[in-house]
Chain A
Amino acid sequence: MSAITSNAPRVRRMTLRRRRQLSGFLFALPAIALVIGFIGVPIGQAVYYSFTQWNGLTSTWIGPSTWTQAFHNSNLWTALENNALLLLAVPFALGLPLGIAVLLHQRVAGWRIFRSIYFLPTAISWVVLGLVAERFFAYQGTLNSIIHALGFSHVNTNMLGYESTALSALGITFVFTMIGTNTMLFLTGLATLDPSLEEAARIDGAGRWRIFRSITLPHLSRFIQLAFVMTVIALFSALFSLIFVMTGGGPGYATTTMEFLIYQTGFNQGDFGTAALYGLILFVLTGIVGVVQLRLIGSNE
């Protein structure tokens, strides 16, 4: 703001500034109200209800023993273990898209059409993709047809039917659903890469792998970080549709993740208090990843 010399404009400026601030506050108010009312308040309530026995209508205060009880529940540990095991899918959910983005970046004939095709599954619901995946893994599904076509006619898989393999099938489906988004991210990153850098390295006699490792990959690091965070958050909070359609959390608890356990505990068992408590655990888990993401956003500003 420019230097203020006389007294009269100063008064006017002050009121103008106050008016501006007031308008700003009023403009932001609906967003603040919506976010506080529907996201902020429920977090507080979840903390309170996690110490109670609650069926949705009446709640009785129990105290911290609800937490010790919850941590003695084997279902919670199974769900956390499933989430941890699914993290093994993350390298694939990043690596495959990275490879695909590099291929697309070669700008081979028709690459724009290929790009559109690769991103197309991103538009459709994970409910639909889950339905298709269920057909793929089914006893009479595509996977067995492929295995038979390869000559192993006596091999029959039914990955979703067994506790030992269902989680892997879910992980594979998750990788497929993330390909579009992550490829899109990496391709945007590659587009910002100065081609003369690669050219210079090539003139200096660097091989393809060397160029990729020393120039392309470091340049993409911010995009890889962002994709990593988005993938992990999706893994913790977006698998519900896939699980609901493909396995319903089963067989047994083989594909029950934290988010699905919350739903089951609350709506199938009617134990709202424990479900609220599980919600808080999920909140902390994603919060850790979220802090990383905010750091990333912050570092760019």
Chain B
Amino acid sequence: MTTLITPPQESDDREAPTPPSRNTRAKVGRWALFFAMVVIAVVMLYPFWVMIITSLKSEAQFLSGGGFSWLSWKHLSATIPVGQEVLSSTIVCSASILIILVVGLPAGFAFAKLRFRTSTAVFLVIVSAMMVPLQAILMPEFVNVTKLGLTGGYFGAILVYAALGTPFSVFLFTTYFRGVPDELIEAGIVDGLGYFGALWRLVVPIAIPAIATVTVLQFIQIWDDLLVGLLFIQNTSERPITVGLAVLAAGRTTSIPELMAGSFISALPAMIVYLGFQRYLVKGLTMGIDR
């Protein structure tokens, strides 16, 4: 843009009358902007388009390129035990998130309001655990959980997910509870609630937004995860849907339209949760910086 000196009364209001040349230029700019946004939208929607279009073909139609049919959807449950796998995902997700909340809420309360002698150091240790990728400790973890006999059912995976999710939830709850006035807790104690009562009756109710943030983030993380489900749930009939899809895909023998139909089903719950609770996700992601 050229540096032109604008009269002061014009710069006060952007919608003020402007010379026609600038006006049309701004209009063109707006349209170019809108066009760019549409192009990006097309790129970002590409995975969904591929999933839907491809799943609406039979294997033969997929190979030849033309035509549509419901065949892949009809045969889906014979190839991929979708119902069973969605159920497994749901069980693993809910149980892990429940543990993460039940363990994280009192810990966050303790680190924020009931500080003990080494609490700062312990808090730092737990927060640093956020940085440890599972792959780094994969071998000992796998052998430990196997030796405990927990890879048979869901328990091994649930405990590993819970342990991996706990550091973040402790961090988030601690930060959140620091904002709760001490007087509120004191008043609760004076009223004879006890520390547990204060946590349950006073703190948890005002922590609903933080609880929602942890729940949504962990749901998407666990639902979408492959590694833990792949290794810590040995029984194929108890596989979560993401694992089921990945194993079939890596095998390279399953019909691609059916894989895409399964993918679409697996993506649906996470998409719904995401669209419904978008703001909690943003909050969780920018935690620690947006304060």
Q: Are B104 and A31 in contact (CB under 8 A)?
A: yes
Q: Are B111 and A128 in contact (CB under 8 A)?
A: no
Q: Are A119 and B138 in contact (CB under 8 A)?
A: no
With a cutoff of 8 Å between Cβ atoms, the chain B residues found around residue A21 in the complex are 114-117
Complex: chain B residue closest to A290, CB-CB: B131
Q: Are B163 and A39 in contact (CB under 8 A)?
A: yes
Q: How far is the CA of A2 from the CA of B137 in the complex (A)?
A: 48
Interface residues of A in 16-40 (CB under 8 A from B): 20-25, 27-28, 30-32, 34-35, 37-40
Q: Are A282 and B136 in contact (CB under 8 A)?
A: yes
Q: Which of A20, A56, A120, A205 has its CB near the most chain B CB atoms (within 10 A)?
A: A120
With a cutoff of 8 Å between Cβ atoms, the chain A residues found around residue B143 in the complex are 56, 272
Whether A208 sits at the interface, judged by CB under 8 Å, is: yes
User: B249 CB to closest chain A CB, in angstroms?
Assistant: 5
Q: How far is the CA of A226 from the CA of B242 in the complex (A)?
A: 28
Whether B259 sits at the interface, judged by CB under 8 Å, is: yes
Whether B68 sits at the interface, judged by CB under 8 Å, is: no
Interface residues of A in 37-58 (CB under 8 A from B): 37-43, 45-46, 49, 54, 56
- Size category, A interface: 35 or more
Complex: chain A residue closest to B48, CB-CB: A120
Q: Are B110 and A122 in contact (CB under 8 A)?
A: no
Q: Are B273 and A123 in contact (CB under 8 A)?
A: yes
**With A122-B274, A259-B135 as contacts: A42 and B144 at CB distance below 8 Å:** yes
Q: How far is the CA of A100 from the CA of B33 in the complex (A)?
A: 11
Within the complex, which residue of A111, A119, A129, A142 is in contact with B37, where a contact is CB–CB below 8 Å? A111
Q: Are A192 and B290 in contact (CB under 8 A)?
A: yes
Whether A212 sits at the interface, judged by CB under 8 Å, is: no
With a cutoff of 8 Å between Cβ atoms, the chain A residues found around residue B116 in the complex are 21-22, 24-25, 28
Majority SS at the chain A contact face: helix
With a cutoff of 8 Å between Cβ atoms, the chain A residues found around residue B274 in the complex are 119-120, 122-123
With a cutoff of 8 Å between Cβ atoms, the chain B residues found around residue A192 in the complex are 290
Proximity bits, A93-113, B CB within 8 Å = 1, else 0: 000000010011010111100
Proximity bits, A271-301, B CB within 8 Å = 1, else 0: 0100110011011001101100110110010
Known contacts A21-B115, A34-B159; can you find 9 more A-B pairs with CB under 8 A?
A22-B116, A24-B116, A30-B103, A34-B162, A40-B129, A116-B278, A122-B274, A241-B225, A290-B128
Q: List 30 A-B contacts (CB under 8 A).
A: A23-B114, A23-B195, A24-B119, A27-B199, A34-B103, A35-B126, A35-B129, A38-B164, A40-B125, A108-B33, A108-B37, A114-B41, A118-B44, A122-B281, A123-B224, A124-B266, A125-B270, A127-B224, A131-B249, A131-B259, A132-B46, A132-B47, A136-B50, A181-B285, A188-B285, A226-B288, A241-B224, A244-B250, A275-B138, A289-B131
